[in-house]
Amino acid sequence: MYDMAILWEWLTFAVRWTHVITAIAWIGSSFYFIALDLGLNRNIPGPADGEEWQVHGGGFYHIQKYLVAPDAMPAHLTWFKWESYSTWLSGFAMLMVVYWAGANLFLIDPAKADLAIWQAILISGGSLALGWVIYDALCKSPLGERPTVLMLLLFAMLVVMSWGYNQVFTGRAALLHLGAFTATIMTANVFLIIMPNQRIVVADLKAGRKPDPKYGKIAKLRSTHNNYLTLPVIFLMLSNHYPLAFGTQYAWIIAALVFLLGVTIRHYFNSMHARKGKPTWTWAATVVIFIVMAWLSSFPGYESLDDSEARTLTPTEERFAQADGFQDAAQIVQGRCSMCHAREPVWDGIRWAPKGVFLETEADIARHAHQIYVQAGISHAMPPANVTEISDADRQVLSRWFRAAS
Ligand code: HEC
């Protein structure tokens, strides 16, 4: 069913669209509240802990913060949780659509670990759950009282995970999983800690009891972690579009360094919003770390992105290689695409196969049948601006080959 390819393509687009929108909503509201909280004017009379005046969209807003709660519970409370939940749910859907359904292409690297698809999926999903269990246990241990030591331990845990994922998955999947691992902790913080604690406090207030301030303290610790983890997660989620970030044996160090960037950049904004000056040294540190990351990506020992030696074709890929019209299609791809999509591209200005997509050997071509169909058969996305002048007749040959095997 070749039209499944079209449906699938639009499904992935819809899921990605949703994920980006929900992530914007979550991160936006979280940045807003962090800045609001840090910037509150705390020298005010009355029971409130602090207040702020803001102007936006033609109106003035007067916001007051109550540390535990106001004397009487308001009739209506706005909760912030679905921004976080929907980001995780749509992200998990994307993980399944891209990395589980496309395990052979994107998840499994037989040169590292020759996993069966079910094994790879088990590691993928299992590691996310395990990460939360370990993180939560650490926070609840006596270490929870020592935030700095705890932060260092968490950083160590992320470095270990970064290394571990790079031992079993493709570089691209490894960085993405480190992002998903971290983001799972962040959403679970909201779902399993911050929200339940807030509900206890609200219930206490409604019943006229005085809530234990420990709940607020716990929530604050988790939310501080989330604050520092936000930027690294976005980097890791975007990294799969940049082969240099993941296509090296040092990808695990690059990924670990990103977490330091999260701290240096957030520290600047946190200080600024708290009106504690502008520590510009953090930008110098950020640039230095970024340069180290870039340098690592081209370090001698650069691991080739080539995996073709290590892999035999799966039955589906084999079907594309046997299908009617494969030889003609392969010839077209080799003539119109491989100058860029090669292990050593010959096109001026292209130094690495774009997006890590190789279209050189017959095995490469059989493996990327779906992408070739979508990018060059039914759409004119490739070659860019049709620089290699593929004809419409050739595009039809590509489509016919794909359909013949679908
Ligand atoms: C002039 C160089 C060049 C040629 C020739 C070329 N491509 Fe590309 N290709 C690129 C670039 C650059 C990108 C990355 C585009 C981007 O960043 O969105 C890319 C991306 C891709 C992707 C990945 C798309 C994605 O978003 O994951 C596929 C698949 C692809 N090309 C297939 C082809 C096919 C099939 C042909 C031949 C019909 C072809 N390309 C010819 C430069 C080229």
Higher pLDDT, 242 or 310: 242
Instruction: State the Cα angle at 219 between 217 and 223, rounded to 5°.
Output: 120
Instruction: Compute the distance between CA of residue 116 and CA of residue 168 in angstroms, rounded to an integer.
Output: 12
Average confidence score pLDDT of the chain:
91
Q: Which of 279, 376, 365, 276 is nearest to 38 (CA)?
A: 276
The CB density around residue 369, as the number of other CB atoms within 10 Å, is 24
Residue range 12-53, pLDDT digits in tens = 999 999 999 999 999 999 999 999 999 999 998 888 889 999
Residue nearest to atom 23 of ligand 1 (CA): 355
Instruction: Compute the distance between CA of residue 307 and CA of residue 45 in angstroms, rounded to an integer.
Output: 67
Judge contact between 178 and 255, C-beta under 8 A.
yes
Would you mind telling me the total number of residues written for the chain in this entry?
406
How far, in Å, are 93, 264, 339 from residue 127 at the CA level? 16, 28, 39
Residue 202 has pLDDT above 70, yes or no: yes
Judge contact between 169 and 104, C-beta under 8 A.
no
Residue range 66-91, pLDDT digits in tens = 877 777 778 888 899 999 999 999 99
Q: Which of 382, 394, 319, 387 is nearest to 355 (CA)?
A: 382
Distance 401 CA to ligand 1 centre (A): 19
Judge contact between 189 and 282, C-beta under 8 A.
no
What would the two tokens of residue 118 be? 């079910």
Pocket of ligand 1 (CB under 6 A): 333, 336-337, 339-341, 347, 350, 354-355, 357, 359, 368, 371-372, 375-376, 382-384, 387-388, 390
Distance 373 CA to ligand 1 centre (A): 12
What would the two tokens of residue 83 be? 């921004």
Q: What is the pLDDT of residue 316?
A: 86
What would the two tokens of residue 103 be? 């395990």
Q: What is the pLDDT of residue 87?
A: 97
Q: How confident is the model at residue 299 (pLDDT cuts 50, 70, 90)?
A: low
Distance 354 CA to ligand 1 centre (A): 6
How far, in Å, are 166, 351, 396 from residue 248 at the CA level? 10, 15, 37
Which atom of ligand 1 lies nearest, measured to the CA of 368? 29
Distance 355 CA to ligand 1 centre (A): 8
Residue 136 has pLDDT above 70, yes or no: yes
**Residue range 221-226: average pLDDT?**
91
Which one-letter amino acid corresponds to residue 397? V
Higher pLDDT, 257 or 74: 257
**Residue range 307-333: average pLDDT?**
86
Q: How confident is the model at residue 298 (pLDDT cuts 50, 70, 90)?
A: confident
| Ranges 65-69, 229-233, 278-282: which has the least confidence | 65-69
Q: What is the pLDDT of residue 301?
A: 44
* Beta carbons within 8 Å of 356's beta carbon, 6+ residues apart: 172, 243, 247, 305
Q: What is the pLDDT of residue 303?
A: 46
Which one-letter amino acid corresponds to residue 199? R
What is the distance between the terminal CA atoms of the chain, rounded to a whole angstrom?
Answer: 5
Residue range 346-393, pLDDT digits in tens = 998 888 888 888 999 999 999 999 999 999 998 999 999 899 999 999
Distance 391 CA to ligand 1 centre (A): 16
Instruction: Compute the distance between CA of residue 181 and CA of residue 94 in angstroms, rounded to an integer.
Output: 14
Higher pLDDT, 245 or 129: 129
Q: What is the pLDDT of residue 110?
A: 84
Residue nearest to atom 5 of ligand 1 (CA): 337
* Beta carbons within 8 Å of 228's beta carbon, 6+ residues apart: 151, 262, 263, 266
| Ranges 68-77, 195-204, 267-276: which has the least confidence | 68-77
Peptide bond into 383 cis (omega under 30): yes
Which one-letter amino acid corresponds to residue 257? L
Residue 129 has pLDDT above 90, yes or no: yes
Q: What is the pLDDT of residue 302?
A: 41
Residue 395 has pLDDT above 70, yes or no: yes
